[in-house]
Amino acid sequence: MRTEAKVFGVISLFLLSATGVYFWWTGAGAAAHPEYSGTLTLGLSGVMSLLCAGYCWLVARRMPPRPEDRPDAQVADGAGTVGFFAPGGYWPVGIAVSVAVGAVGIAVGQWWLLVVATIAALFTTAGLLFEFYAGTPESR
């Protein structure tokens, strides 16, 4: 996590310095007043990146250095199980279709279609939630 903290730190440093340059650059023109929406967007992006860097740094303090964080590590040090990943499934497609049908129901004023889509969205969301308990499609 130390590597990620450094990457996010560099990104936040760049964004915050670009905020200052952007604020100065847009205010130096003939209008003589800076453009605030871009300045705010760059500044908030820099702050959010700084939050990510701080989180990664705090997590890195609590765990031993990973192979990515050690300069003397070999490629073989990173071998083995990477982590736990969710099983593959088609529930997100069902959620997207039911939300799209609900949006069409709102657009054309067919409220019964919105009710049907809401029920379908609840069903597919429950399917996505309980997907971990059903196993992978290959094991069924």
Q: Determine the average pLDDT of the residues in 38-50.
A: 96
Which residues contact residue 89 at a Cβ distance below 8 angstroms, ignoring those fewer than 6 apart?
127, 128, 131, 137
Domain ranges (residues) in the chain: 2-72, 91-139
pLDDT(139) > 60: no
Q: Give Dmax (Cα) for the chain.
A: 69
Structure tokens that stand for 22 in this block: 């952007």
pLDDT digits (tens, 9 = 90+) for 51-100: 999 999 999 899 888 888 788 888 888 788 877 777 778 899 999 999 99
Residue with tokens 């129901």: 105
pLDDT digits (tens, 9 = 90+) for 106-121: 999 999 999 999 999 9
Q: Determine the average pLDDT of the residues in 113-138.
A: 85
